Each structure stands twice: as structure tokens, then as C-alpha cells.
Amino acid sequence: MAIAQAQRGRVRWRRVRRVSVALAVVFAAIVVAGLPLYVFPPQGDPTDASLVYVIGPPQQQRIDLGETLRDADSNLPMLISVSGSAKGHGDRAFDASQIDACGEPEVTCKRPDPFTTAGEAKLLTDYVASHPSDKTVVITFTPHVARTRYIFEKCYGGDVTVMGVDTNMSLYDWAFQYAYQTAAFVKAWLTPCP
């Protein structure tokens, strides 16, 4: 009887070990697969851009990169997607009235509708109808570059290149971004453009 219990214990331990190894392999595969999408996505080339577009939230690092690109190329026009406080939505910190750059010449700050990446692609479409642009540099943050590129290719007919700014993120933040961006990719794939 003791021998049978010991054998069952070993069998159970082997199963637990196999499941643990399988989960570790799946986790490692997810991390490795996400590296080129979320951690090291290819950065766009801003050469020959005729518009800089900072998508939301318009955090200072994104605006700073936009300003650097503008300064390097004779003050290109810049469009900034702001959340505003329309209908009680959005973060007041990212309202046009709170962003210094929104008061600069050749800078337009608008709230996309809907306030999503696809809505931002629609805002760009509407903007270039009256402000033609041959090539737009879209600025976001690094984990969002690949999805932004996908959505703009799907929902915007013009030439776009996407650049990301690095932000300090904890291991928890990276895990959250992996999960969030993956789910948002699936949503973007299934959802039509606005």
C-alpha cells in the first residue's frame, strides 16, 4: 500500500513538472514573439515628412520628439491628438489648454472621434483633406508602434511612418503592455475603421 502511494506521488510530481515546463516554454515563446512587436519594433524613417502627428495621450516625450523633428526640418506642421474633456471624457492633463505646444504656430490640436487609434487615423484623414501631406510621421510610444502601424495602414490611405519613444516601464508594465497590445491587435483586426 505504501509503495502504491509512493508511485502515485511520483506520477503526480511528474505531471506537475511536465505542466510547469510546458507553461514555462509557452511563457518564453510569448516573450520572445513579442520582442520585435512590443520591445524592439522597427522605427520609421522621418526623412521627407511633411507633417508630424503626435497621437494620444500627448505625453511630453512624444511632443519633444515631434518638436525635434519639426526643428530639424524648417518647422513642419504638427498635429496633436488631445483627449480633451468633451462630453466628460478624457484626461484634463491632455486637454489642448494644458499643452504648451498647442499654442505654437503651425501646431493643430484636435480630439479624434472616437478617441482610439483608429479614430486618430480618421482624424489624420480629415486633417489632410484640407492640409495635404505627402508623408506623415506618427509618434507614439514603443509598445504601441506595431499596432499603430497596422491600424494606420488599414484605416489611412496616405504615406505614414511610425516612431516610438521609450518610456520607463516596470516588469509589470511590460507584462500589461504585452497583454493589452495583443488584445488590442485582435480588436483592430476584427473592427472596421470608423
In a shared domain, residues 58 and 28: no
Residues 20 and 96 in one domain: no
- Structure-model confidence comparison of residues 86 and 3, the more confident one: 3
| 40, three cell numbers | 524592439
Task: Determine the Cα–Cα distance for residues 142 and 127; give it in Å rounded to an integer.
Answer: 24
More confident residue, 3 or 26: 26
Helix or strand or coil: residue 46?
coil
Question: What's the whole-number average pLDDT of the chain?
Answer: 90
Please check whether residues 22 and 88 belong to one and the same domain.
Answer: no
By the 8 A CB rule, do 142 and 180 touch? no
Residue 45 lies in a domain: no
Confidence of residue 1 (pLDDT cuts 50, 70, 90): low
Structural domain span for residue 111:
51-190
What pairs with residue 136 in β-bridges?
51, 160
Q: How far apart are CA 6 and CA 110, in angstroms?
A: 69
141 within a domain of the structure (yes/no): yes
Residue 83's pLDDT band (cuts 50, 70, 90):
confident
Per-residue pLDDT, 3 = 74
145 inside domain: yes
Q: Are residues 98 and 58 in the same domain?
A: yes
Are 18 and 65 part of one and the same domain? no
Residue 85: pLDDT band (50, 70, 90) is low
Give tens-digit pLDDT for 6-21.
677 787 888 889 988 8
Tens digit of pLDDT for each residue in 27-59?
A: 888 889 899 999 999 999 999 999 999 998 999
User: Nearest CA to 122 among 113, 130, 133, 131?
Assistant: 113
Does 88 or 130 have the greater pLDDT score? Answer: 130
Q: Which residues pair with 78 in a beta bridge?
A: 52, 107
- Output the pTM of the full model: 0.87
Q: Are residues 77 and 127 in the same domain?
A: yes
- Please compute the mean of the pLDDT values over residues 58-78 and round it to a whole number: 92
Which of 135, 168, 121, 141 has its CA nearest to residue 62?
A: 141
Residues counted in the chain: 194
Residue 86 has pLDDT above 50, yes or no: no
CB 106 within 8 A of CB 75: yes
Q: Are residues 117 and 173 in the same domain?
A: yes
Query: Long-range contact list for 178-186, CB < 8 A, 24+ apart?
Result: 178/30, 178/31, 178/34, 178/38, 178/143, 181/37, 181/38, 181/143, 181/144, 181/146, 181/147, 182/34, 184/117, 184/147, 185/146, 185/147, 185/150
Sign of the CA dihedral running 71, 36, 120, 162:
positive
The answer to whether residue 161 is domain-embedded is: yes
pLDDT band at 114 (very low <50, low <70, confident <90, very high): very high
134-180 tens-digit pLDDT: 999 999 999 999 999 999 999 999 999 999 999 899 999 999 999 99
Instruction: Evaluate whether residue 181 is within a structural domain.
Output: yes
The average pLDDT across 89-107 equals 82
Which pLDDT value is given to residue 92?
Answer: 65
Count of structural domains within the chain: 2
